[in-house]
Amino acid sequence: MSTSAGHPDEIRTDELDREQEYVGTLYGRLDDLREHAAQRLSRALRETGGTLQDRSQRESAVALYSEQLAQFSAVEQGLCFGRLDFHAAAPRYVGRIGLFRDGDHQPLLLDWRAPAARPFYLATAASPEGVARRRYIRTRDRKVVGLDDEVLDLAAARDTHAGPAGEAALLAAIGATRTGRMRDIVETIQAEQDRVIRADLDGVLVVQGGPGTGKTAVALHRAAYLLYTHRRELSARGVLIVGPNPTFLRYISQVLPSLAETGVLLRTLGDLFPGVTARADEPAGAAEIKGRLAMTEVLAAAIRDRQRVPDEPLEIVVERDTLVLDPETIRAARASARRSGKLHNLARPIFDTEIVHALARQVADRIGADPLGGENLLDEADLAEIRRELRAEPEVQAVLDWLWPILTPQRLVGSLLVSADRLAAAAPQLTDAERALLLRGPEHGWTPADVPLLDEAAELLGEDDRAAAARQQRERRALAEYAEGALEILTGSRSIDVEDEDDPEILSATDLLTAGRLGERHEEEDRRTTAERAAADRRWAFGHVIVDEAQELSPMAWRLLMRRSPSRSMTVAGDVAQTGDLSGASSWAQVLAPYVADRWRLVELEVNYRTPAEIMAVAAGVLAGIDPSLKPPRSVRETGVAPWTFRVPPQRLADELAGRVRRELAEVGEGRLGVIVPTGRLDALARAVVDAAPEAAVGAQPELESPVVVLTVRQAKGLEFDSVLVVDPEGIAAESPRGQSDLYVALTRATQRLGVLHPGPLPPALSGLDQSS
């Protein structure tokens, strides 16, 4: 049985007053903690001087108290949202963070992630876990504004209307107008979602669910839960969350801070190769080819293609002498470097040695030849000297660089994609048309599908750490020299600092420190956060990796992600019915088998919290066309608002759209309107929308907080709006072999209202829609 005290008429003032008093105590405690952290912070900021260790401690304190202050601000709204009453235990209050009483450390508020708070999400009338009553406490600006109670007893268990937990609070949350930023769901997590959020850290967990089933919300709350429960392990290794595009990342960016978690790296695939921000567009077909596993062979062949053997002998002029390298010698050197089994960049020294030896022999034959016809007059030491000199010759270096160049991943992939000849040599398995699709101009920027290629190339090339090591060595030397100077100054000023120069008791700085050690101390300590260090390091192994909209990732992208997660501790959220990318997944088993065989767990979410039943009925028709065996998720609510369609002559489409945008904006009031259009019509239709609503957001990364946003399906993936206008559904479906899935995504973005404008015939799957006037 569920009793609601939320309606103003029903609010029991005595209960409200009692809760208000308790909530007031909690905010009082929060204020104390905030004040304490603020004082500590300003003290740490004021202090100066002291030893290096003092400075380091101060910097740690500043970081700690700044983070605490940020956390306390983040939990200000809705600090406490629940209370559990037990048959045989004291009540527990549940909130965004844990709070303890000053002095005796009695718990005042349980963090929602603590095991003791779990019955708040799991207890049901049939399985009450000792809970007599669950109370949802609604607050606004520190004021308790409503209470929703659920009494968990057997009578309630027999109640045939077993709605979702906290139905009133849930319906209020999902019916609220959208703001363009995702909100946390911590107050109304449902039992099926809770089980995913608190699943074990280890292994690969796949969260499959239709649109609006809360996969993104669950994935983010899981990150917060894992960081809370495995703090030590994960704060050292970090948690990576991968989303489909920068707009989506901005959409979800507020959720973790509102749960007081900041130590997570949010990234798109395009950001996962340090030093590259891949944002350029390319044809879907080109991205599909780049996503194929066969690209590993193409890259390996592209590297082999750069290990040159010319058809003709090469002449090298060294100190007016002409040395000759014939193809056989180069081929033999290449074979021995390849045989070493080392990666390309790391095998270069072997190649160099062979070539330099061959050249040195030529030099020795000339200058060491015995005029009397005896053995060569040069000994091993002479030969070594000749080799050393040859290596230092710019001419020789240039030839070596040409024959076996040290390559960066950017250079390898970049030069491959701009050269028809290189593509032909490296990718004979592709058709001419496929290679033509890959070919691009030298000015083209990196695309997201290039990033797994860069990562693969880095693995195949091997990173030549010698340059970095030499740089480090140079820096160390410079620091040591600086330190030596500093020590000289110290020694020079000794007579001023120390009264009795000869006092053997007084140790000078030079006695304690060598210049090298002083230099080391001056090296900057790495003060970056785990997330910052992880972002800069391609070989970083994350403690946990969460992938959202995972169905869109290509086989090559999976290879990259698996490298970032050697422990295979991963959460993979997605919906194979929504796959739009041509190289995306149609089966989780297929995607994961190469990495974990069948050792992965699947959880399916089946309730749709976003799309009302009226809209879902329309989308279900499209889903059946994609795969009749797929079941649409069950909507948790009806709104009574029927979705509509309107057929408009093509020449009137822009005008009609402008009128409909005005009408929908009036309908949604404070809410948001999304206009989803075929990619090919984006520019023209966006102009029409901007004419009707100048504040409309359009472009590569549209601002979702605008009242109206015009997007393609690709951009709309994972997002939601109060009202959605889908324009030219047939055009959307026709743009891609996976067009039906794109249409399904477009139709399921609305939380309240859906309208479809079609200039041509309505796709048969939508024929059930009401025609609007």
Ligand X SMILES: Nc1ncnc2c1ncn2[C@@H]1O[C@H](COP(=O)(O)OP(=O)(O)OP(=O)(O)O)[C@@H](O)[C@H]1O
167 binds ligand X (CB under 6 A): no
User: From residue 770, how far is each of 391, 728, 773 by CA, in Å?
Assistant: 80, 16, 10
What is the side-by-side order of every strand in the sheet holding 264-268?
Answer: 264-268, 239-243, 544-547, 570-574, 204-209, 600-605
Is 143 annotated as a binding-site member?
Answer: no
Q: Which stretch binds ligand X (CB under 6 A): 97-105, 124-132, 168-176, 300-308?
A: 168-176
Whole-angstrom distance, CA of residue 535 vs CA of residue 463: 18
Are the C-beta atoms of residues 643 and 615 closer than 8 Å to each other?
Answer: yes
Q: DSSP letter for 276, please.
A: -
**Number of helical H runs and strand E runs in the chain:** 33, 23
Residue 432: count of CB within 10 angstroms of its CB? 10
575 binds ligand X (CB under 6 A): yes
Whole-angstrom distance, CA of residue 94 vs CA of residue 588: 36
258 binds ligand X (CB under 6 A): no
The nearest distance, CB 570 to ligand X, in angstroms, is 17
Residue 504 or residue 669: which is nearer to ligand X going by CB? 669
256 binds ligand X (CB under 6 A): no
The nearest distance, CB 565 to ligand X, in angstroms, is 21
Give the position of tokens 């750490």: 465
Burial label for 406, CB within 10 Å (0-12, 13-18, 19+), is middle
214 binds ligand X (CB under 6 A): yes
The nearest distance, CB 77 to ligand X, in angstroms, is 15
Residue 479 or residue 636: which is nearer to ligand X going by CB? 636
Q: Which two tokens stand for residue 22?
A: 């308790």
Q: Which amino acid is at 413?
A: V
The nearest distance, CB 294 to ligand X, in angstroms, is 30
The nearest distance, CB 602 to ligand X, in angstroms, is 15
Q: How many residues bind ligand X (CB under 6 A)?
A: 24
122 binds ligand X (CB under 6 A): no
Residue 555 or residue 718: which is nearer to ligand X going by CB? 718
Position among 119, 211, 674, 763 found at the interface with ligand X (CB under 6 A): 211
What element of type H or E holds 383?
helix 380-392
11 binds ligand X (CB under 6 A): no
Whole-angstrom distance, CA of residue 269 vs CA of residue 451: 7
Nearest-CB residue to ligand X? 214
Handedness of CA 337, 339, 341, 343 (dihedral sign): positive
188 binds ligand X (CB under 6 A): yes
212 binds ligand X (CB under 6 A): yes
Whole-angstrom distance, CA of residue 173 vs CA of residue 183: 9
The nearest distance, CB 341 to ligand X, in angstroms, is 45
Backbone angles phi, psi at 236, to 5 degrees: -80, -40
Position among 26, 44, 168, 170 found at the interface with ligand X (CB under 6 A): 170
Give the position of tokens 């391609």: 538
Q: Which stretch binds ligand X (CB under 6 A): 20-28, 86-94, 208-216, 323-331?
A: 208-216
201 binds ligand X (CB under 6 A): no
Are the C-beta atoms of residues 364 and 382 closer than 8 Å to each other?
Answer: yes
Is 124 annotated as a binding-site member?
Answer: no
Position among 273, 609, 721, 744 found at the interface with ligand X (CB under 6 A): 609
Tell me the β-bridge partners of 324: 315
551 binds ligand X (CB under 6 A): no
Is 612 annotated as a binding-site member?
Answer: no
Residue 188 or residue 583: which is nearer to ligand X going by CB? 188
Is 49 annotated as a binding-site member?
Answer: no
Q: Which stretch binds ligand X (CB under 6 A): 53-61, 212-220, 334-342, 524-532?
A: 212-220
User: From residue 520, how far is each of 114, 473, 486, 513, 688 by CA, in Å?
Assistant: 43, 12, 13, 11, 63
245 binds ligand X (CB under 6 A): no
User: From residue 297, how far is each of 59, 302, 304, 438 by CA, in Å?
Assistant: 49, 8, 10, 16
216 binds ligand X (CB under 6 A): yes
Position among 205, 217, 653, 725 found at the interface with ligand X (CB under 6 A): 217
Are the C-beta atoms of residues 434 and 314 closer than 8 Å to each other?
Answer: no
Q: Which stretch binds ligand X (CB under 6 A): 187-195, 486-494, 525-533, 646-654?
A: 187-195
213 binds ligand X (CB under 6 A): yes
Burial of 334-358, coded b for 16+ CB within 10 Å and e otherwise, reads beebeeeeebbbbbbebbbebbbeb
Q: Which stretch binds ligand X (CB under 6 A): 188-196, 356-364, 368-376, 552-560?
A: 188-196
Query: What track of x and - describes contact with ligand X for positions 124 through 163 (by CB under 6 A)?
Result: ----------------------------------------
The nearest distance, CB 124 to ligand X, in angstroms, is 15
Residue 726 C-alpha from the chain's centroid? 29
What element of type H or E holds 185?
none
Is 669 annotated as a binding-site member?
Answer: no
579 binds ligand X (CB under 6 A): no
Whole-angstrom distance, CA of residue 239 vs CA of residue 607: 27
Are the C-beta atoms of residues 743 and 756 closer than 8 Å to each other?
Answer: no
Residue 450 or residue 575: which is nearer to ligand X going by CB? 575
Is 277 annotated as a binding-site member?
Answer: no
Residue 237 or residue 717: which is nearer to ligand X going by CB? 717
Which of 286, 363, 290 has the alpha carbon at shortest distance from 323?
363
Is 211 annotated as a binding-site member?
Answer: yes
Residue 221 or residue 237: which is nearer to ligand X going by CB? 221
Position among 113, 133, 198, 215 found at the interface with ligand X (CB under 6 A): 215
612 binds ligand X (CB under 6 A): no
Q: Which stretch binds ligand X (CB under 6 A): 89-97, 134-142, 214-222, 277-285?
A: 214-222
Q: Which stretch binds ligand X (CB under 6 A): 141-149, 210-218, 339-347, 396-404?
A: 210-218
Position among 80, 125, 156, 185 found at the interface with ligand X (CB under 6 A): 185
Which of 391, 375, 256, 259 has the alpha carbon at shortest distance from 316?
391
Whole-angstrom distance, CA of residue 293 vs CA of residue 291: 7
Residue 593: count of CB within 10 angstroms of its CB? 13
Handedness of CA 588, 593, 596, 599 (dihedral sign): positive
Query: What track of x and - describes contact with ligand X for positions 520 through 549 (by CB under 6 A)?
Result: ------------------------------
Residue 741 or residue 748: which is nearer to ligand X going by CB? 748
Whole-angstrom distance, CA of residue 103 vs CA of residue 228: 24
In the region spanning residues 720 to 749, those forming contacts with ligand X, defined by CB under 6 A, are: 720, 748
Residue 508 or residue 639: which is nearer to ligand X going by CB? 639
Q: Which stretch binds ligand X (CB under 6 A): 46-54, 209-217, 613-621, 622-630?
A: 209-217
Strand ranges for 600-642 from DSSP E: 600-605, 607-608, 634-635
Residues in the chain: 773
The nearest distance, CB 457 to ligand X, in angstroms, is 32
Is 215 annotated as a binding-site member?
Answer: yes
The nearest distance, CB 610 to ligand X, in angstroms, is 4
Whole-angstrom distance, CA of residue 243 vs CA of residue 250: 10
The nearest distance, CB 223 to ligand X, in angstroms, is 13
Backbone angles phi, psi at 724, to 5 degrees: -130, 135
Under the rule (CB under 6 A), what is the footprint of ligand X? Answer: 170, 173-174, 183, 185, 188-190, 193, 209, 211-217, 575, 578, 609-610, 718, 720, 748
Annotated binding site: 209-216
Annotated binding site for ATP: 209-216
